[in-house]
A and B are shown apart, each in its own frame.
Chain A
Amino acid sequence: DAGVIQSPRHEVTEMGQEVTLRCKPISGHDYLFWYRQTMMRGLELLIYFNNNVPIDDSGMPEDRFSAKMPNASFSTLKIQPSEPRDSAVYFCASSLHGRGVDEQFFGPGTRLTVL
């Protein structure tokens, strides 16, 4: 298996633009997680899905952030409109059985820069 796939790997955009980050989880994994990592705040869980259904979005910082999982093999994290403080590395992770049961496999991340 290729592991968790994220695209793009790097994104540079201007303030106010819409940004869409994409994730393909490992085939067969029922759980998908979106994280954000910054120097100031470290790694933060934004939202996670079980069987394509959002379970906990309490980490989503603002209404400008939204996440979808239309099917078991694809998820998006959208920021509209983007702001410079959204600059961070965004990771997607997936796991077979969910939290507390087995490990999460992280993707390589998308480095987002908002100018």
Chain B
Amino acid sequence: SQKIEQNSEALNIQEGKTATLTCNYTNYSPAYLQWYRQDPGRGPVFLLLIRENEKEKRKERLKVTFDTTLKQSLFHITASQPADSATYLCALDMSSSASKIIFGSGTRLSIRP
């Protein structure tokens, strides 16, 4: 069965640096992949979606890459700020009729001033 792994449970970096989060999956590539942000006690908030035929997507300080050969997506936050501290989830969607959306367990990102 499809498995998804986010590189680390927690990541601590200095304000102003680039945060890079990793999402790896096994088996077959999803039709698309999403990244979400979740703050404590709140629901996930959608950030970016990237399709299997896309290599890279950007939105302001955020960038997502998708490498179907490596079976990996990288999520970058440039010029990180303490307000970026949250848990980040990646989600795979195989987008077939009997499929499910599979979420990673998340990476807790802390940006220290």
Contacts and interface: CB of A to CB of B under 8 A. Distances in A.
- Are A and B genuine complex partners? yes
Interface of A: 4, 42-45, 56, 58-59, 91, 93, 99-100, 102-109
Contacts of B91: 43
A42 B46 contact: no
B16 to A, nearest CB: 28
B95 A99 contact: yes
A44 B95 CA distance: 15
B31 A43 contact: no
Interface of B: 31-32, 34, 42-46, 49, 51, 89, 91, 93, 95, 97-101, 103-106
Contacts of B97: 56
A93 B44 CA distance: 9
Contacts of A106: 43-45
Given A42-B105, A104-B46, 15 more contacts: A42-B89, A42-B104, A42-B106, A43-B89, A43-B91, A56-B97, A56-B99, A59-B100, A99-B101, A100-B49, A100-B95, A103-B34, A103-B46, A103-B49, A106-B44
A91 B88 CA distance: 17
Contacts of A100: 31-32, 49, 51, 93, 95
B98 A58 contact: yes
Contacts of A56: 97-100
A109 B45 CA distance: 12
28 contacts: A42-B103, A42-B104, A42-B105, A42-B106, A43-B44, A43-B91, A56-B97, A56-B99, A58-B98, A58-B100, A93-B43, A99-B93, A99-B95, A99-B101, A100-B32, A100-B51, A100-B93, A102-B49, A103-B46, A103-B49, A104-B46, A106-B43, A106-B44, A106-B45, A107-B43, A108-B43, A109-B42, A109-B43
